[in-house]
Structure 1
Amino acid sequence: METRIAQIGIIVESPESVEKMNQILHQYGEYIVGRMGIPYKKRGVSVISIIIDAPSDVISALSGKLGMIEHIKSKTLYANI
């Protein structure tokens, strides 16, 4: 099956949402190439970048599940390769 590379940008607005987010990311661990998180203490948020190489439907499912978590905002950017 053909895969795509995408970057999912996540902003975590409340620490209480982190456990649910990590559970979902763990489910998709086989597709995740890398993850970088930066706590922005001045604003009380964390900014996370996920790089994923997966079929489009898997990327969409992950992004959708993340978007349904309260206090989490996410957007997906697809590469043209």
Structure 2
Amino acid sequence: METRIALVGIVVENKDSAKRINDILHEYGAYIVGRMGIPYPKRNVSVISIVMDAPSDTISALSGKLGMIPHVNIKTVYSKLASNTDK
């Protein structure tokens, strides 16, 4: 199956959204390579970065679900190279 590396940047503007975000990330945990969360109390936001190695459809599905949560902004950056993990 062809997979890609992607970086999903998440800006959380309301901490009440945290449980929904974590539930979705847990659902896709098998594809998450790493996660870093940075609270920024001065601006009352948190920033989360997620690195994934997954099929493009899976990355898009995760991004779509996160993007539907109120007060959550996301942006996904894909690597240009795809890899074939079935070699």
User: For residues 76 and 63 of structure 2, what CA distance do their matches in structure 1 show?
Assistant: 7
User: For residues 37 and 26 of structure 1, what CA distance do their matches in structure 2 show?
Assistant: 15
Residue 30 of structure 1 aligns to a residue in which SS?
helix
For structure 1, the residue ranges without an aligned partner over 5 or more in a row are: none
Q: Compare the two structures and name the one with the higher strand fraction.
A: 2
Which AA in structure 2 matches 1:15? Answer: K
Aligned to 1:75: 75
User: For residues 79 and 2 of structure 2, what CA distance do their matches in structure 1 show?
Assistant: 13
Which AA in structure 2 matches 1:25? Answer: L
Aligned to 1:13: 13
Q: Compare the two structures and name the one with the higher helix fraction.
A: 2
Which AA in structure 2 matches 1:39? Answer: P
User: For residues 15 and 40 of structure 2, what CA distance do their matches in structure 1 show?
Assistant: 12
For structure 2, the residue ranges without an aligned partner over 5 or more in a row are: 82-87
Task: Give RMSD over aligned pairs.
Answer: 0.4
Which AA in structure 1 matches 2:13? Answer: E
Q: CA deviation at 1:33?
A: 0.1
Residue 80 of structure 1 aligns to a residue in which SS?
strand
Which AA in structure 1 matches 2:4? Answer: R
Q: CA deviation at 1:51?
A: 0.1
User: For residues 72 and 78 of structure 2, what CA distance do their matches in structure 1 show?
Assistant: 20
